[in-house]
Structure 1
Amino acid sequence: MIIDFFKRGSNNGDQPQAMSDTAREMVEKCKFPYEVFPEGSNHSDIMKRYEEKLREGKEKGFTPVIVPVDETLEEYWEIFEDEEYSFEDTIRGASSEEGKKFLHECYEEMLDDTSMSEEEYVGEFDDEPDAINHVTAFMEFGAPDTLETIIFEVPTTNPWEVVAYLPFGGWNECPNPDKMVSVCKYWFEKYGAVPVTITHEIMEMSVLECVSAGDALELAKEHYAFCPDRVDQGTRTGTISEVAASLEVSKIWYFWWD
């Protein structure tokens, strides 16, 4: 079945919203209600609106997702459309068990590819960890300005499904949408992790509580298996143990695939 979200969406306001050509192409590929924030909007205004939609969605049956206007992501959607991608099949095939198994197998494969012991592979971190408690995917890199940003109302009350409705991945070490959905389902059921932002190369998830010290290291291994750049390019020490320390003080999980 051809995915049917590649149709025109509609905004929630009474008046048309000004937007760039790329933003227009993105909302025209989706049938979801949306709200557009122009470039340079206040970060806190976008997050306040997201939180409002999060509460509203619990009553009306949708999950909001923040998507910065992204030409590459729009092109990916066009490729998925051409390949007759089906979000329904992707969701139907999702499994927490498969998500956990995928992460375990990826981690073991990466460990086997080194000459290190697991203790060496995990490394040591005894510094002050970075607390990640704000999403940043819609911020201009290296600048305080926000990008043009869309909040989509994805028609599901299962937050893990949004990565099937707004697919990306399947290149280099970024998992295919089917693997990504199973991983997100696993993490949602175990930790309550909810995708907040999606770009063609970034996903940020939120949790209500930081993970415990007892869970942090195993979860950090899973994060590394899911997104090696989270460790290799996203830490000061290049260690899994640094990610584990950060998870103990963070309510946002950040993933970026180079």
Structure 2
Amino acid sequence: MKEMLERLNVVYDSLELLSDDMWRVGGRGDALLDAWFVLNTHKTETHHSPLLIGSEQSLALIWEFWAENAGTAVADIEERAEALDGRTFLQQRWDAEVTSLQQQQDPDEQEALHALTQVNASAMTYDPQAANLDGFFAIWDTTTQNISEQCFLLLIPTPDETAAHAYLRYGGWNSYPRAEEHIAVLRYWREKYGATLVSLTADTVELRLEQPIQDPHHRWPLR
């Protein structure tokens, strides 16, 4: 892997084999974002998909969950994902959330319902000057409000980045979707919007679209 990264001129600080041909790459946030673009371009050749993972704390939480579920086969998760329809899943989750909020009397819950069901077109106008890629949460240090001096990228042993949740065995607690549900949704968004998975932190998933969605009615909710 080291030779491959050097051949592709990837700038990084550390490299470690974690498990099952999955590698951890450490470095400054902006350098790892550059690395993501290079590695994403070559993922068919390398048979690894790059995934920004955020801070060491975020990585530790994700890896802890992987260790607890390592006995679950990736193939089994992907088989369950194939049986799901991403759009149907999103609609069902959306309807359930709206119904739950409608049954609440708390003013905060009613405000949340309003936010979910109304489209604020002016607030969602696409600004190409503001749409810089440094905005990815995974490479951002919320303490310093600047690019992180130390974060991590995983190299997942598959050219299909939508399967990352299966390889990490990540999801399925509280209301967080199961791994196969994430995969189904990511594949639906890839097919409909050309979305590519860029990062997965402990509680955030970030994607990149080749062409931003201009119509706010198509972006809120993104389904």
TM-score range, shorter chain: 0.7 to 0.9
Q: Is 1:54 the counterpart of 2:40 in the alignment?
A: yes
The structure showing larger relative contact order (alpha-carbon pairs under 8 Å, at least 6 residues apart) is 2
Match of 1:109 in 2: 96
Does the CA-based 8 Å contact 2:63-2:168 persist in structure 1?
no
- The SS at the match of 1:59 is helix
Distance of 1:145 and 1:121 partners within structure 2: 30
Compute the RMSD of aligned alpha carbons: 3.0
> Is the contact made by 1:94 and 1:185 (CA closer than 8 Å) also made in structure 2?
no
**Corresponding residue of 1:174:** 176
How many positions carry a matched residue from both structures? 198
Q: CA deviation at 1:211?
A: 1.6
Query: Which residue is 2:212 aligned to?
Result: 210
2:122 to 123, 127, 138: 127
How far apart are residue 124 of structure 1 and its match?
Answer: 4.6
Runs of 4+ in 1 over 6 A off after TM superposition: none
Find the aligned partners of 1:45 and 1:208 in 2 and give their Cα distance: 21
Q: Which of 35, 38, 44 matches 2:25?
A: 35
Identity %: 16
- Map 1:161-200 to 2 at 5 A: 161-200=163-202
The answer to whether the 8 A contact 1:188-1:194 is kept is yes
Q: How does 1:60-99 map to 2 (within 5 A)?
A: 60-68=46-54, 69=56, 70=58, 71-81=60-70, 84-95=71-82, 98-99=85-86
Question: Aligned in 2, Cα 1:33/1:137: closer, same or farther, shift over 3 Å?
Answer: closer
Native 8 Å contact 1:11 1:35 kept in 2 = no
The normalised TM-score by structure 2 is 0.74
The separation in 2 between residues aligned to 1:46 and 1:52, in whole angstroms, is: 10
1:45 aligned partner: 31
Comparing both structures, which one devotes a greater share of its residues to helix? 2
- Of Structure 1 and Structure 2, the greater strand share is in 2
Amino acid at match of 1:158: D
Which secondary structure state, in structure 2, belongs to the residue aligned with residue 173 of structure 1? Answer: coil
TM-score by length of 1: 0.65
* Structure 2 Cα separation of the partners of residues 74 and 157 of structure 1: 21
Structure 2 spans left out of the alignment, 5+ residues: 7-11, 104-109
1:169–1:201 CA contact under 8 A, matched in 2: no
Partner Cα separation in structure 1 for residue 67 and residue 73 of structure 2: 13
- Is 2:18–2:24's contact at 8 Å kept on the other side of the alignment? no
Task: Tell me which residue corresponds to 1:235.
Answer: none
- Cα distance in 2 between the residues matched to 1:93 and 1:120: 32
